[in-house]
Every structure is written in structure tokens, then in C-alpha cells.
Structure 1
């Protein structure tokens, strides 16, 4: 979470009686966040916080529209991929000068804090860790007798292709091994990091090469041709905008690559048995 960089410290204090907080997520997250805000207001009775939230995809256009209209939220949930962009535009407040006297972060996870930095300065306080994970239908995996490793990084893309072949054969028509993750930036980042690379250099340049991209899209092209991943028409139908619109919840695919904070939403959306393995956080 970041503070918008509108005004000086004295300006912020003067307007602290009423703050606006924007965030993205499901209704489950919204409920939990609202409870946290209410607890804060009880402890700080002279401060009120209004909130708005939306899905991740619609959050950024809505936030950009609000900022361009001159009414940026005071508290902004920020994705680490957007921090540099917002900092360059002068939209986020540098919190470094408030640490550690006003903001004490000594007991925070230091690698997570790094995700809130730009040019060595702190622009936010992390809510928590969120990792690219592979959700899978345990019933289908048990049906083919496949035992997954305990960590995402211990599993290869060829092994995912192999188990997809087994699942498609065992489950019959209409069920696929996996979603088509060719456009999933989180999955692509796992693929790149498994090659000892990052998506971007510290100065914001591309850190992967054309061969990496060619091999990534060739993999998914092969999966589509073999009927192992969701075809394009189903990818459009099950956009993933909500848990109900994911192929794993609908029973169309055995594997879905998503983020770990979707666990509760997936659980609430389907009675099917499923589990997930997380990609280990790593910095190279």
C-alpha cells in the first residue's frame, strides 16, 4: 500500500481527518479490508477512511481516471510492477524520511519491503506476500495417480505437459489438462526466472530475449494443437474476471496458474476438491 504524493507533510496532517483508500480484490478481500479499516477508525476516532475497490483488471484504468481528474486516493494499493511508473510521475510519497521514527518497519519481512522500493527509497508498506501458484483438481490428479512435488520450482513445464496428457485421456471430452497460460504474465515470469533471469533490469529495460519469448509461445502453441490446454473459444468464455469464470472452478481444466491470494475465493466458488503449490519466492 502506498501514499499518494499530493502535498507536503503538513498538508497531509491537515487533511488526515478524512482519507480515501483504493484497493483491488474479491468481495472476500473487501470484507476483510473493511473490517481492518473499522478497527483503525475505532483506535483513531478523529480519522475516517472511505474506500473503493474493483477487480485487478479494471482497477488501474479507474485509478488513472481518478488521478487525471485531480482526486487521487490518499492510500493506494500498488502493484510492484507499477511503482516505478507512478514514482516517475511524482504520484507517490517517499516514506523513507518517516522511517523508523514515525513508521516502524523493523519486524517486516525485508524481501517483501524491497518490493515497495524504487531507487532505494520506500514508497509503500506491503500487505503481505502473494506468490504465483498452481491450483489443481486433486480428484483428477488422483485419478491418474500423479504425485506433485512440494514446490512449483521443482516441477518442469514438460512434466505439466505429461500430466495434462494423462488427465485429458482419463477425464474424456470437455476436460483439459490446463488453462492456456500463454498470456499470463505471472506464469511467464516463473518461466523466465527458472532460466536465471528477471523480466526487467534495474533501470526498467527488458532482461529476457527473443528466444525466451519464442520458446514460451511455442510451448503453448504445442499444447493447444495437442488439445491439452483450453482452446481459444473457452479462454474467452472463462475470462477469469471472477472465480466463477475460471476453468478450474467450472471443471473445464485440471490446472490453473494464478496468485495465492485467490485461495479463499476459489474455495467459496466450488465444491470440487483442489489444492495448490506455490512458486518459491526468489530474487536473482
Structure 2
């Protein structure tokens, strides 16, 4: 792999401590390994569909071949319902032992004492040699590990070769954000009004984050403070004015194709987003479009470490578990084992573990994602601080305001004012 591995010395597990919920007894001290003679039952919860459930059932069967005394009871829900149920369980301090976990909830649950400290298990029950340092760092909140990434994705630029061939325009050759805007304008003009070069990239908070990281900053600091002021946000949204003036897809078209987007309805020839979205895009585009290109995003500053690997999902353990060693053993299997790589493939994203990745059978799109993440290695920096509590609310507000700007129903100054008002409420809630 392209990222230097982390070599972790075995920790003194007997002295490690686990999180204890307020008013509850502390979890038992961790052992160096799970006692295979111990009879244990674990609850495992994940979000997904019947296809993913079948894969988890196969993974559990493979797990039980090695650990027949650990009974695993699994359950799944769609993403929104999954988190609604977790909120109810959290109130009663009765979360499942092992959970598929989303990055945006990691800070909220860990800071409320709901997740187990995994550091005592790293290098012991949970193998760390197959997981690069920046992958391990993804699950760290306030210097403590609360989640292990199962898979990763990175920001990328998808383009549609068929539409570009129709327009007679070459693929984006790379360059600055201004170069990207000029390329979009070329595509829009060449298409004769049939489709557009892309969307207003200033409507996505992730593109602001990339620019801030290139400047040596972050979207939000570890302390939860914004890494930008009103003037910086104003400059960013003003940057998109030319796109909103006819280069990019009109907001009316965006609204008309919902719940799909302009890229997977062939209304635009490019889209900046996470690199694991390709399969969904191709599925929505249909048989007329057989391939996509996946390129590096525009560059703010050459040599900057603006990109990073984000977890598609993580696995975490509830601090209320009665069997932390068994739970850690299951997490290690689901993340690191060759069997998990062979069974899940890229259903959960590109495997983060080198062991699992080596065993996974990659389809052409997954090979593209793998090649993309290798190609941008020089731009990969440390992951940003784990998202603040309420990040999802702010991300959605940013998107809504971007839509209002694209409609022309709001000035940049008013949009900036509204966003900072919303951010003040979220950060001080």
C-alpha cells in the first residue's frame, strides 16, 4: 500500500481502563486475548439492506468457525431508523455490544461516555499492522480510539466520458479551481444546451474544507471552533458566481430531478464528491453510460496536504458491553480478517485493512477507487478532527444556502449571515 504502516508496540493491557458510564460500574480490565472456552453472546447492529445482511450472516458463520463459543445476534435497519433506535438505546445505556458506526456520530457518542476505549486492545486483540497510521487515527476523539474504520473513501472528481465525447471536449486535465470553472464553461458551451459542465462547487461544504486545508487550516478545530470567518466564506461563495451565471446546471434543474442529482441524470458532465459514489451513479445513469472517470479534485496550492481518507463506516463497541474482549475479537475479524475481505468485497467501501483488501475481489469501479486513492497519495494529509456534534445540520444548511444562491434568491452577504447564525446556534447548543 502507498501509506506507511504504523508499527505499534503491544500495550500493557492489564493496566488499561475502559470507559464507564456515569452511575455504572466500570468495565472489566481487558485481557490480552479472548478465552476461547468462555461462552459469550454478543449483539451486532448495522445499517444496510438484505444484501448486506446476507454478507454479515456469512461473515458471522466464518467467525464462528474460529470462535464457536461466541454467539452473535445481528440486526439491521435503514440508516435513519438505525440511528433513531441507537438514540433510544443510548438513553437507557443499552446499546448493542458491537455497532457499525458512522463518522458523524462518533464525537457525540464518545463524549457522552457511550463507547468503549479501544486503545487497550490495539496491537493485541485488534491487529494494527494491517491498518496504516492515518486509518487508525480516523477513530480517535480527544486522544482516545473509539472506532476502527472498516473502509475508506476520499474526495474525487467524477466525469462522464460519453457526455464529453458528445461535446467534443477532452477530460479535465487538472489544475486550479479557476481552471476547473473554465473547463466546465467549455463543456457547457460545446454541449449546445443539452447538458452542463458541472454544478456550483461552492454549494458543497467539503470543497470549502479542501481549500481551507490547503491553506493550513481546518473546517473546524479539535476544540469545535470554526476554522474560517465570514470574510473567508464570502470569498468562497463569490468564487462560484461565474458558475451560477450560466456555466453550471441551474438550480431549477437540480430540483426537478430530485431525489437523483444532476450528474446521475446526465444533466452534468462532472461531479465533485466522495469516490465511493461511482456505483450508484452508474446504476442511476442506466445502460447508456457504461463507465465513469475518477480524477483528482482541483488544486488550491501545489504540494498541500488538502485531501484525506474518510471512513465509509467504522466499528465501535458500546461501553455497556459485558464482554469487551469478545467484542474486540469480533471487531478485529470484521475489519482485518481475509474472510471479511472475501465476503464483503467493497459492499462497505474499499477495505481499510491491507489484509482484507488483499482478499477482496474488486470490480472495475472499485479498482478505479483503489487507483484513485493511490494516485492522490501525495495530497493525503491527516484526517481532520472528528466532526463536531451537529455537523450534519450545518452541512445541510450550507447545501440549502448554496441552492438559494444558485436560484438567485439570496445575496452572498445574506447567505453568509444566515450560515453564521445557524452555526452559532449549533456550536453553543
TM-score scaled by length of structure 2: 0.54
Deviation at 1:238, TM superposition (A): 3.9
Q: Verify the 8 A CA contact 2:195 2:267 in the aligned structure 1.
A: yes
1:122 aligns with 2:221: no
Match of 1:223 in 2: 243
Q: Verify the 8 A CA contact 1:5 1:94 in the aligned structure 2.
A: no
- Tell me: CA distance 1:21–1:58, structure 2 relative to 1, closer, same or farther (3 Å): closer
The whole-number CA distance in structure 2 between the counterparts of 1:239 and 1:16 is: 47
Deviation at 1:165, TM superposition (A): 0.9
Deviation at 1:220, TM superposition (A): 2.9
Q: Verify the 8 A CA contact 2:93 2:114 in the aligned structure 1.
A: no
Gaps spanning 5+ residues in structure 1: where?
A: none
Q: How many residues align?
A: 271
User: Among 231, 246, 249, which residue is 2:264 paired with?
Assistant: 249
> For 1:128, what is the secondary structure of its paired residue?
strand
1:234 aligns with 2:253: yes
- Tell me: CA distance 1:41–1:172, structure 2 relative to 1, closer, same or farther (3 Å): farther
> For 1:48, what is the secondary structure of its paired residue?
strand
1:185 aligns with 2:221: no
User: Among 175, 189, 203, which residue is 1:169 paired with?
Assistant: 189
The whole-number CA distance in structure 1 between the counterparts of 2:103 and 2:43 is: 23
- Tell me: CA distance 1:74–1:261, structure 2 relative to 1, closer, same or farther (3 Å): farther
The whole-number CA distance in structure 1 between the counterparts of 2:248 and 2:50 is: 29
1:91 aligns with 2:109: no
Deviation at 1:116, TM superposition (A): 0.7
Q: List aligned pairs for 1:1-284, cutoff 5 A.
A: 9=27, 16-23=40-47, 32=55, 35-45=58-68, 46-55=70-79, 60=83, 63-68=86-91, 71-142=94-165, 143-149=167-173, 155-224=175-244, 226-239=245-258, 245-269=260-284, 270-271=286-287, 272=289, 273-278=291-296, 279=307, 280=376, 281-283=380-382
The whole-number CA distance in structure 2 between the counterparts of 1:164 and 1:248 is: 13
Question: Looking at CA atoms only, which structure, 1 or 2, has the larger radius of gyration?
Answer: 2
The whole-number CA distance in structure 2 between the counterparts of 1:95 and 1:78 is: 14
Deviation at 1:117, TM superposition (A): 0.7
Deviation at 1:195, TM superposition (A): 2.5
The whole-number CA distance in structure 1 between the counterparts of 2:54 and 2:206 is: 26
Between 162-171 and 7-16, the greater mean CA deviation after superposition: 7-16
The whole-number CA distance in structure 2 between the counterparts of 1:39 and 1:252 is: 45
RMSD: 3.4
Deviations 1:3-33 (A, max 9, x none): 9977754599999513122246x87766655
Deviation at 1:61, TM superposition (A): 5.0
> For 1:17, what is the secondary structure of its paired residue?
strand
Q: Verify the 8 A CA contact 1:180 1:235 in the aligned structure 2.
A: no
Deviations 1:156-183 (A, max 9, x none): 2112211111111122324122134444
Deviation at 1:81, TM superposition (A): 4.3
Deviations 1:220-266 (A, max 9, x none): 34312x222232233334446xxxx1322211111122211223333
The whole-number CA distance in structure 2 between the counterparts of 1:87 and 1:35 is: 30
TM-score scaled by length of structure 1: 0.79
Deviation at 1:123, TM superposition (A): 0.9
The whole-number CA distance in structure 2 between the counterparts of 1:4 and 1:27 is: 33
- Tell me: CA distance 1:61–1:229, structure 2 relative to 1, closer, same or farther (3 Å): farther
Q: Verify the 8 A CA contact 1:180 1:231 in the aligned structure 2.
A: no
The whole-number CA distance in structure 2 between the counterparts of 1:116 and 1:276 is: 27
